[in-house]
């Protein structure tokens, strides 16, 4: 049995032959197959690793995209939170301003806020008080009936300019040129509009207001309303003059409560800014019972604008 084989090599130096045993032959074949197997395994491993690397890279890219998206969302959320925070700060500032304004209104109308009251409750209470204030100032004479330029004769005892005797002056004489417009200082009905010989007021208007109040406008030149007619606060009712027992053009203005004369000057200067002053200055009127009786009355359409007479008075301050 032939147990060996010959390898022949031809080169420039001639022919060389090598005899290799059959076992070596088999060993070489095994080695070749092993190397081929290793190569295949290596190639497969490389291909698998490449595929894994591609998959990992794809996952990395997906995770990077997700991270970027999450980062954008976080930024948007952060911006939204900052915007909400700024809005809350602005809202809080506005609420503080509303609270401060409400406090001013409460002070103006003489309310003392309860510490535990919410802003809404305070606003509702203020609204009720404001409505009550609007009711009283619509029905009770307030403000100047003419463009205020001062007075020439006060309320009280004086020497009558025509009769030259000491008499009680039941009103005030207000400075005014001839034909100065005269306005109603509250809602009411015209009780008298014409010449009043007995009083010496010449052409006189008497307005009967609510709750026992009356307004007297004397020494007029021209009357533009009629007896029995209703008038609203701020309506034009006449023009000043010098009729009756008068020494010169002016307006005699009286306010009476249940036929008793009261000093009109406090009512002339009465407005929303000094709303509570009248209750201290005019003691002859039972304000508390009047306020209690009118607490639930609401004026549907209170006079919003003031006649030029009252605006002029406020511009003077006093």
pLDDT for the residue numbered 250: 95
pLDDT for the residue numbered 147: 93
The pLDDT of residue 311 is above 50: no
As a whole number of angstroms, the distance between CA 142 and CA 267 comes to: 5
CATH number of 138-316: 2.70.70.10
pLDDT for the residue numbered 72: 92
List pLDDT tens digits, range 20-63: 666 677 778 888 888 898 999 899 899 888 888 888 988 989 99
Question: What are the tokens at 87?
Answer: 């809005």
The pLDDT of residue 212 is above 50: yes
Percentage of the chain beyond pLDDT 90 is 38
Look-up: residue for tokens 């007479």?
309
**Secondary structure class of 248 (helix, strand, coil):** coil
As a whole number of angstroms, the distance between CA 252 and CA 247 comes to: 12
As a whole number of angstroms, the distance between CA 313 and CA 148 comes to: 5
Look-up: residue for tokens 């190569």?
39
As a whole number of angstroms, the distance between CA 157 and CA 317 comes to: 26
Distance of CA 241 to the CA centre of its chain: 45
More reliable by pLDDT, 236 or 137: 236
- CA nearest 231: which of 271, 185, 194, 269? 185
pLDDT for the residue numbered 232: 94
Q: Cα angle vertex 300, ends 225, 209, to 5°?
A: 40
Q: Which residues contact 125 (CB under 8 A, 6 or more apart)?
A: 111, 117
Distance of CA 288 to the CA centre of its chain: 32
List pLDDT tens digits, range 197-211: 888 899 999 999 999
More reliable by pLDDT, 65 or 126: 65
pLDDT for the residue numbered 17: 65
Region of 30 on the Ramachandran plot (φ > 0 left; ψ -120 to 50 alpha; else beta): alpha
User: Length of the chain in residues, anyone?
Assistant: 318
pLDDT for the residue numbered 292: 79
96-105, 133-142, 231-240: which range is least confident on average?
A: 96-105
Q: Counting beta carbons within 10 angstroms of the beta carbon of residue 201, is it exposed (0 to 12), middle (13 to 18) or buried (19 or more)? A: buried
pLDDT for the residue numbered 304: 59
As a whole number of angstroms, the distance between CA 269 and CA 255 comes to: 13
Cβ–Cβ under 8 Å, residues 238 and 204? no
Query: What value does the mean pLDDT take over residues 201-229?
Result: 96
Is the model's pTM score more than 0.85?
A: no
The pLDDT of residue 315 is above 50: no
List pLDDT tens digits, range 49-61: 888 888 898 898 9
Question: What are the tokens at 158?
Answer: 């004086």
List pLDDT tens digits, range 88-132: 888 888 777 766 666 665 555 555 555 666 656 555 545 547 777
pLDDT for the residue numbered 201: 93
DSSP 88-130: HHHHHHHHHHHHHHHHHHHHHTT----TT--HHHHHHHHHHHH
Q: Which residues contact 306 (CB under 8 A, 6 or more apart)?
A: 143, 234, 314
Query: How many other β-carbons are positioned within 10 Å of the β-carbon of residue 155?
Result: 21
Q: Which residues contact 231 (CB under 8 A, 6 or more apart)?
A: 184, 187, 188, 189, 190, 207, 225, 237
List pLDDT tens digits, range 250-299: 999 999 999 899 999 999 999 877 887 888 888 889 888 888 788 778 77
Query: What value does the mean pLDDT take over residues 135-146?
Result: 92
The pLDDT of residue 134 is above 90: no
Cβ–Cβ under 8 Å, residues 167 and 177? no
As a whole number of angstroms, the distance between CA 185 and CA 168 comes to: 23
- Average pLDDT over the chain, rounded to whole? 82
Cβ–Cβ under 8 Å, residues 305 and 144? no
List pLDDT tens digits, range 144-175: 999 999 999 999 887 766 666 678 888 999 99
């Amino acid at each position: 049995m032939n147990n060996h084989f010959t390898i022949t090599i031809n080169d420039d130096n001639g022919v060389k032959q090598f005899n290799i045993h059959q076992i070596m032959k088999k060993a070489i074949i095994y080695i070749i197959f092993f190397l081929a197997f290793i190569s295949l395994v290596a190639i497969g491993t490389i291909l698998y690793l490449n595929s894994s690397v591609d998959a990992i890279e794809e996952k990395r890219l997906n995770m990077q995209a997700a991270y970027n998206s999450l980062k954008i969302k976080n930024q948007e959320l952060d911006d939204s939170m900052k915007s909400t925070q700024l809005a809350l700060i602005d809202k809080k500032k506005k609420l503080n301003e509303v609270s401060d304004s409400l406090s001013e209104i409460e002070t103006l109308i003489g309310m003392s806020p309860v510490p535990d009251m919410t802003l809404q409750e305070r606003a509702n209470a203020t609204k009720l008080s404001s409505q009550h204030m609007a009711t009283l100032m619509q029905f009770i004479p307030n403000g100047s009936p003419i463009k205020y330029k001062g007075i020439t004769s006060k309320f009280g005892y004086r020497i009558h300019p025509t009769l030259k005797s000491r008499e009680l002056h039941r009103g005030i004489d207000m400075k005014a040129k001839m034909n100065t417009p005269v306005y109603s200082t509250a809602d009411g009905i015209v009780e008298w509009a014409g010449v009043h010989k007995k009083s010496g007021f010449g052409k006189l208007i008497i307005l009967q207001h609510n709750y026992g109040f009356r307004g007297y406008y004397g020494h007029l030149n021209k009357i533009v309303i009629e007896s029995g007619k209703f008038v609203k606060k701020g309506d034009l009712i006449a023009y000043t003059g010098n009729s009756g027992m008068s020494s010169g053009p002016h307006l005699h203005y009286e306010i009476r409560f249940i036929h008793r004369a009261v000093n009109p000057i406090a009512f002339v200067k009465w407005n929303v800014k000094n709303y509570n002053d009248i209750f201290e200055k005019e003691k002859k009127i039972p304000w508390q019972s009047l306020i209690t009786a009118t607490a639930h009355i609401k004026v549907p359409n209170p006079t919003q604008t003031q006649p030029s007479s009252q605006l002029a008075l406020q511009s003077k301050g006093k």
